[in-house]
Structure 1
Amino acid sequence: MRSIFWGQIACFFICLYFTACKSSSEPKDKPATVGKKGGGKPAGGPLAVEAYIIKTSVLNQNIQVPGSLLAFDETEIHPEVAGKIVQMNIREGAMVSRGTVLVKLNDADLQAQLHQLNVQLLVAQKTLDRQNQLLKIGGISQQDYDVSLLQVSSVRASMQVLQVSIARMVVRAPFNGKIGFKNVSIGAYVSPATVITTIKDVNRLKLTFSVPEKYNSKVVNGNSVIFSVEGTPKKYAAKIIATESGITENNRSLKVMAVVETVDKYISPGSFANVIFDLGEDNQALMVPTQSIIPGARDKQIIVARQGVATFQKVTTGVRDSVNVQLTSGVAVGDTVITTGILQLKTGSKIIVKSIKK
């Protein structure tokens, strides 16, 4: 029993010895590979980007600006004098002609005065006729005749003044147009400050819009613009008739007025208009993708690839479409403009152009 026990102890130490030797002979683990999976670029290497080579192209230049439609003529209707309304011929929404009587004020006292002057004129005229006969036979002096003549002229002048006052008691339509809502009713006492109603010439419309100051040389009287309104796909034409005397300071734009050539039921005063202003055709336009423009507080920039280095370049933009922007300064034909990875680049960054669009 004793020999078996010591034999087991000896086997245990022999196994332990061989295990320790095997562990010491195995190589140590290699350190983990530093870097991206799959052997990516080490930190600080060139950035792979896409680019666009600038070339000349044909550009049909136009800009879209908001506009408003206005009645060709529009005004509020006020009485010239104060008085009580005794007659009203206003049908709201009706078309009226120039000179149509809209409102008549009480003029009974003025009519009475006119009647009185008519009687005075009749008496003065008869007196003048008798004195004329007496003057021919030397019955009166020339001075007496002149006094009677002056009396007749004075009464006639007073009648003319009174007739003007009576005419002011009648309010007429100043031009052909559409009457708006009435603000007073018959029997009301009105003054020159009272707005009786409004009238608009809806058969002719004006279009007003503004263009940026850099395009003011393109605005020429007689040229046409195209516009559209909500509610119909139809396009309308308007002819430019005038511009404002100067550039507006708050938004640096030029206000333009045009006359709509054809008016139908889909357009009316006050409507919003989307104006397409044609700037002509440019055969040497330099266009770049919209995403390549870096807007700033005072200017705009693009990134140009030069000998594998990113260079920031200030540019001036022109018109744009859905995908491209025109550059009017800062670049030249053949420049390579970076279109991707813009946010990761700074001046002097190393780049690799992996694809180029021409």
Structure 2
Amino acid sequence: MAKLHSKLIWVILIALLVFIGYLYWLPGQKTDNRRATAAVAVSTSKVETKPMIRSVNSLGTGIANQSIQLIAPTSDFISELNIREGKAVKRGEVIAKLQDVDERARVTELEGILAEQKRQLDRLKNLANTQATAQSLLDEQITRVNTTLAQLNSAKAQLAQMTITAPFAGYLGLRQVSEGAYVSSGTVITTLDDLSTLRVAFSVAEHYLADIKPGMPLTVTNAAYGNISFAGKVSAIDTRLDPITRTVTVHGALVNDDVRLRPGMLLNVKLELDNRIAMQISEKALVPQQQKQFVYRVNENNTVSQTEVTIGQREPGWVEILSGLEEGDEVVVEGIQKLRSGITINRVGG
């Protein structure tokens, strides 16, 4: 009897444990079923076709299109000075004159001598037609005329040096001398800069060398003008690279009619390497697996399917799609970690 009673107790205990386990298992099973059927909250976006601009940024320095120092070619007193600092001058305009009394006198003297020698030359030419002995005298006179003519040309050149003119149109810099001062040969009088076009010199890594060509568009900004951009084009590419930095120097040209940009300015350069229409998606939509790229494309019934894509160029936040998607396709950009093919989604956010 006691043995039967003990077996009954064990049966009751086992049944009780099975019942308690069932009570714990049933809610979990229901939760798993709900999880299996619940939609996953994600954010999506559509494949867009829009311009893709690939560019490279660099720091550059402003350079005048033409820039020279106007110097005294010889030593003498300054008799005239026409420097309006910071003002525009035309090509050929007189900037300064040195005292040229001696030079003018020398030119006048040689002009008189040359005139007399030419008259004597004319008489000898007439005489040589009738007297053979006059030919040697004629030759000597021709030599004298040529020698005097050379001396006159040299004197005129020296006289011309006493007048300093602008070799091109531009803007005068600061005056370095005063009228009446005695200057030595090589003394800087002022500077002249052609600012109608400003060149910008900047360096680009050799990685981009094959992509850069003259005429490519670029823009520059400067701290003095905030977010205002100045447009220009690549004008020249150096034939040599810096062997230390492995960069190539590029020159750009910018129209500067308002003279807001100045030589020596630090300029932020953005060089546009490529600008074309391309099909693009957000970089966040990509799911890399080994050497391939995938996205989760949204189907008509709000389920997703993993789709392999071929990508092209990248730019911050966006990537070009070469194949695998069509314009207007919808892809998941956030919440990808919880997805697999066939899962139903619920769109949230923007």
TM range (shorter): 0.5 to 0.7
**Letter aligned with residue 80 of structure 1:** P
**Letter aligned with residue 139 of structure 2:** D
Aligned pair partner of 2:263 in 266, 269, 273: 269
**Letter aligned with residue 95 of structure 1:** A
Listed one character per residue, the Cα deviations across residues 178-211 of structure 1 (whole Å, up to 9, x for unaligned) are 0001101122222333111001111111122222
> Which whole-Å CA distance do the structure 1 matches of 2:128 and 2:215 have between them?
69
Written as runs of structure 1 = structure 2, the 5 A alignment for 1:222-301 is: 222-230=215-223, 231-261=225-255, 263-280=257-274
C-alpha change, 1:78 and 1:288, in structure 2 (3 Å) is farther
> Which whole-Å CA distance do the structure 1 matches of 2:138 and 2:129 have between them?
11
Say which structure is richer in strand. 2
3-state SS in 2 of match to 1:114 = helix
Written as runs of structure 1 = structure 2, the 5 A alignment for 1:107-186 is: 107-138=100-131, 141-186=134-179
C-alpha change, 1:214 and 1:117, in structure 2 (3 Å) is same
Aligned pair partner of 1:99 in 92, 100, 122: 92
> Which whole-Å CA distance do the structure 1 matches of 2:267 and 2:229 have between them?
10
Unmatched segments (≥5 aa) in structure 2 = 1-46, 286-312, 320-334, 340-350
> Which whole-Å CA distance do the structure 1 matches of 2:142 and 2:54 have between them?
77
- Provide the residue aligned with 1:356 in structure 2: 337
Report the alpha carbon displacement of residue 355 of structure 1 after superposing the two structures with TM.
8.5
Written as runs of structure 1 = structure 2, the 5 A alignment for 1:320-335 is: 321=316
Aligned pair partner of 2:182 in 189, 193, 201: 189
> Which whole-Å CA distance do the structure 1 matches of 2:125 and 2:260 have between them?
71
- Provide the residue aligned with 1:315 in structure 2: none
> Which whole-Å CA distance do the structure 2 matches of 1:190 and 1:99 have between them?
22
* Percent identity between the two aligned chains: 27
Q: Is contact 1:85–1:106 with CA below 8 Å preserved after alignment?
A: yes
C-alpha change, 1:247 and 1:201, in structure 2 (3 Å) is same
- Provide the residue aligned with 2:66 in structure 1: 73
Which structure has the bigger radius of gyration? 1
Report the alpha carbon displacement of residue 145 of structure 1 after superposing the two structures with TM.
2.6
Unmatched segments (≥5 aa) in structure 1 = 1-55, 290-317, 327-353
Q: Is contact 1:90–1:182 with CA below 8 Å preserved after alignment?
A: yes
- Provide the residue aligned with 2:300 in structure 1: none
Q: How many residues align?
A: 246
**Letter aligned with residue 92 of structure 1:** E
> Which whole-Å CA distance do the structure 2 matches of 1:178 and 1:238 have between them?
21
C-alpha change, 1:137 and 1:234, in structure 2 (3 Å) is same
Q: Is contact 1:239–1:261 with CA below 8 Å preserved after alignment?
A: no
Q: Is contact 1:202–1:268 with CA below 8 Å preserved after alignment?
A: yes
Q: Is contact 1:248–1:254 with CA below 8 Å preserved after alignment?
A: yes
Written as runs of structure 1 = structure 2, the 5 A alignment for 1:21-60 is: 60=53
Q: Is contact 2:203–2:247 with CA below 8 Å preserved after alignment?
A: yes
Listed one character per residue, the Cα deviations across residues 222-258 of structure 1 (whole Å, up to 9, x for unaligned) are 1111222232433221111111222223333221111
Report the alpha carbon displacement of residue 274 of structure 1 after superposing the two structures with TM.
1.9
C-alpha change, 1:65 and 1:137, in structure 2 (3 Å) is closer
> Which whole-Å CA distance do the structure 1 matches of 2:144 and 2:63 have between them?
54
